[in-house]
Amino acid sequence: MFTGAQRTLDDPAADGPANLSDALALAAHPAARDRGVLLCFDGHAFAARGVRKVDTLSTHGFDAPGRGPALRVAAGRIIPLTAASRPPTLPVPTGVPVPRVDVIPLYLGADTTLFDAAIGAGAQGIVLAAFGAGNANPAILEAVRAAVANGVPVLVCSRVHSGPVAPLYGGGGGASLAEAGAIFGVDLSPWQGRMLLAAALATGATDLPGTVDSWLQGGLTQG
């Protein structure tokens, strides 16, 4: 169980004490079991997958766009909002260093400079913070094709706040990226995608795309 605060303790409306109290109550409650890691904030508890910071200063600083909270704390009661479901795990060996995985943001006019620099710096995996439903441009497409051919996996996520990625368009879009061997990260943010890809690499799986996809679908394919 994780929690925190958006306001300092000396603020007239400090939120930290209430968040801590809610988190402790949730951690001790049976409804929080078999849900994996949870984040408790502003009276809501979110599953780790899909949660992201949505505001810099509001007390409702976190949310899970497209998914919503898993539990709610209201007037001292713990209210389950979704059925309990323990997320899958990846068998990362103890003591294995976390592989370098870089996030490459896409924007209008983006070229391969950052992508090439990441590869040159030794990145073992790349995550694209792509346009829309997971699109890039022809230059990035060729960089992805070369990286995958050289054994560097590329995971496609979206820079958009909510919604999944899908291989829909050609011309450097998602369909082209899929054809080049990129993996699609469903609705993970680029930062959560980075953690997943690094963990999958650390397992030493021989079928990395299969391992990542299996985790995303809720199961696990041993490499």
Rounded to two decimals, the pTM is 0.90
Task: Set out the domains of the chain in order of their start, with CATH numbers.
Answer: 16-80 (no CATH), 101-217 (3.40.50.40)
User: What pLDDT does 220 receive?
Assistant: 46
Distance (Å, whole) CA 168 – CA 28 = 45
Looking at the chain, how many residues does it have? 223
Helix-strand-coil split of the chain, %, nearest 5: 30, 20, 55
> How does pLDDT run across 36-69, given as a tens digit for each residue?
999 999 999 999 998 999 999 999 999 999 999 9
- 219 pLDDT band, cuts 50/70/90, is low
Residue 15 pLDDT? 97
Tokens standing for 175? 């369909």
Nearby residues of 184 by Cβ (< 8 Å), 6 or more positions away: 134, 155, 156, 165, 166, 167, 174, 178
The model's confidence at residue 96, banded by pLDDT at 50, 70 and 90, is: confident
Q: 43 CB contacts (<8 Å, ≥6 apart)? A: 18, 22, 72, 73, 74
| SS3 state at 115 | helix
Query: What does the mean pLDDT of the chain come to?
Result: 94
What is the share, in percent, of the chain residues with pLDDT greater than 70? 98
Report the pLDDT averaged over residues 196-217.
94
Burial label, 127 (beta-carbon count in 10 A; 0-12, 13-18, 19+): buried
122-168: pLDDT as tens digits: 999 999 999 999 999 999 999 999 999 999 999 999 999 999 999 99
Over the stretch 173-200, which tens digit does the pLDDT of each residue have? 999 999 999 999 999 999 999 999 999 9
Over residues 16-33, the mean pLDDT reads: 96
